[in-house]
Chains A and B, each alone.
Chain A
């Protein structure tokens, strides 16, 4: 090493400032008793379609808010707004993922106190969003089976970190070479605790199991919060 050359030890997280804001977002959701989920999937997997098909059931008993992440357009937010659900669009302007600061900026636009469930639909991408905590309670993946049964093994990071995966476009199974057994086995080996839902947003099959699971998650979260509240 040259005479003036010296080493400075840093050992700091690259995502430190994102994680810090994510923790603030999480605390905000907790204070407001609002379950926040981060919905992640490739472009075209059916994230928005899943919301369109299940919002009518969810809003019967729950106040739901939606944050729509998109690179440029407000096409997805427009589709959600039809369901008379509060929705705010975030345009990342080329960015391949949402981050915790983008989410915190739009939170004041919601009445979080009266919101039971906040669904954050991330930018269509199975890679980048996996590394960015938004402050959600958990992540949910939407994967359409036509993407191929090799996808879970190819994108293990996101499958490892999600609580549930919705396998969409099951109505197309007969028209593809997808091996559902292999796909589900790979998912379970990457993450044995993950909940798997097989649905078709097109014909509605399997959606009820997904919505009732999600509603139960909201109840469990809110009961936990009430217990925590009593303790305080």
Chain B
């Protein structure tokens, strides 16, 4: 359940962001979460509800956008979706794969009023 810790990070960032804006209420919190992380959307949702209680975020929607894993072959530079977490270049069968997307854990944006 490290999603509670991750959500702690979300609320730290929300606090920092809101200190620079005049906001009455937060309506939506959007996260980008790479498939190559261990953050589970359901657990994030639960953690969000716990953290947002009695705050300006209470009742806001949490949107978790999952980011697929994209690899680039170190040999032939072919870019491809790593679907089964098997890091094998479909073009040249090389296993030296660089991850270019899918490790994100980001607070993307807030919708506020």
Contacts and interface: CB of A to CB of B under 8 A. Distances in A.
Interface of A: 1-2, 4-18, 95-97, 99, 127-128, 130-132, 153, 156-157, 160, 188-193
B44 to A, nearest CB: 10
A155 to B, nearest CB: 8
Contacts, number: 102
Contact of B111 (A5, A127, A193): A5
B36 interface: yes
B36 A6 contact: no
A6 B112 contact: yes
Contacts of B106: 11-14
Interface of B: 1-2, 5-6, 9-10, 12-13, 17, 21, 24, 27, 31, 36-39, 85-88, 95-96, 99, 105-113
B85 A131 contact: no
Contacts of A7: 109-112
Contact of A8 (B17, B38, B39, B86): B17
B87 A96 contact: no
Contacts of B37: 130-131, 157
A99 to B, nearest CB: 7
A10 B21 CA distance: 12
A6 B20 CA distance: 14
16 contacts: A5-B111, A8-B17, A10-B13, A12-B17, A16-B13, A97-B2, A97-B5, A128-B1, A132-B2, A153-B85, A189-B88, A190-B86, A190-B87, A191-B87, A192-B96, A193-B96
Nearest to A127: B38
A14 B38 CA distance: 13
Contact of A10 (B17, B24, B27): B17
Contact of A96 (B1, B24, B27): B1
Contacts of A189: 86-88, 95
A99 B5 CA distance: 9
Nearest to A10: B107
Given A153-B86, A189-B87, 10 more contacts: A8-B17, A10-B107, A13-B106, A14-B9, A15-B105, A95-B5, A97-B2, A130-B37, A153-B85, A160-B36
